[in-house]
Amino acid sequence: MVKPSNPFDLSGQVALVVGASAGGLGERAAHALADAGARVAVADLASRAADLAATARARGASEHEVDVTDEASVAALVDAVIGAHGRLDVVVNAAGVMLRKPYDETSLEEFERVVRVNLTGTWLVGREAGKALTRRGRGGRIVNLTTVYAERVGPVPESAYYSSKAGVVNVTRALAAELGPHGVNVNCLAPGVFYPTQMTAALGAEPDRLKWFGDRTMLGRLGDPGTDLTGPLLLLASPAAAYMTGQVVYVDGGWSAW
């Protein structure tokens, strides 16, 4: 009997996860990619080195420092990963910050910082990864993390965050259009409310709000960072999604379908 091939198998491939320090969705992405057979490189700010090391040690990943708002740092990261592993096949953009503040209490500096990290950072990583994958000539996959709130705002005041993540969706589509002829697929994952993560940890002190978020979904629960993102992520990061590009895949328990 011929054993069917596994389209989600990433054996022999190298995956870079940007924003992979412990406690975030990037950490879970690194674990999922390693479980699928990829050699993983993880990157984050120098200030998160301890958390990043925890992720790396758990999966035998190479560790790298990066500031996604600095183009020289991003270019050096891509070069370092290729230098360490000899190739690059998959890039997951999970670096991001959130600012929960009413619009009239948000300073211009705060707004611009969120945009620099979430939107400019996604574009810079996509630009440098896209150039490297194009030079390689074998295609590749880029997966950007946005949010369910990218195309519809949420119930809390986060205008800077919502705006930046809406931009990530169109950066993804624009890069997909330009990189498609080179065999590079670029897609978005749009998670709903996953708990607990770095970004949602504060909700633990607000049990009523936490319950409201879960009840608001069609499935009646919050997303589990350890299990619910794995399948959709591996779809977009693997050859299984060879004919998908420029797409936004919602992983939100049905929140966006109401």
Q: Quick: pLDDT tens for 98-130.
A: 999 999 999 999 999 999 999 999 999 999 999
> According to the model, what pLDDT value does residue 155 have?
85
**Which residue in the list 149, 161, 162, 250 is annotated as catalytic?**
161
Domain boundaries, the chain: 14-249
As a whole number, mean pLDDT of residues 138-161 equals 94
Residue 24 in this model has a pLDDT that exceeds 90: no
Q: Tell me how far the alpha carbon of residue 94 is from its chain's centroid.
A: 3
Query: What percent of the chain has pLDDT above 90?
Result: 79
Q: Quick: pLDDT tens for 203-255.
A: 777 889 889 999 999 999 999 998 999 999 999 999 999 999 999 999 999 99
Q: Which of 2-11, 16-25, 91-100, 158-167 has the lowest mean pLDDT?
A: 2-11
Question: Please, which pLDDT band fits residue 52 given cuts at 50, 70 and 90?
Answer: confident
140: left (phi over 0), alpha (psi -120 to 50) or beta: left
Residue 96 in this model has a pLDDT that exceeds 90: yes
Query: What percent of the chain has pLDDT above 70?
Result: 98
As a whole number, mean pLDDT of residues 20-42 equals 93
Residue 94 in this model has a pLDDT that exceeds 60: yes
Does the predicted model carry a pTM greater than 0.85?
Answer: yes
Backbone angles phi, psi at 69, to 5 degrees: -90, 0
Q: Is 243 a catalytic residue?
A: no
Which of 1.10.1040.10, 3.40.50.300, 3.40.50.720, 3.40.50.970 is the CATH number of 14-249? 3.40.50.720
Give me the chain's average pLDDT, please.
94
Question: Please, which pLDDT band fits residue 3 given cuts at 50, 70 and 90?
Answer: low
As a whole number, mean pLDDT of residues 153-161 equals 91
| Start-end of H helices in the chain | 25-35, 49-59, 71-85, 108-115, 121-136, 159-179, 207-216, 230-237
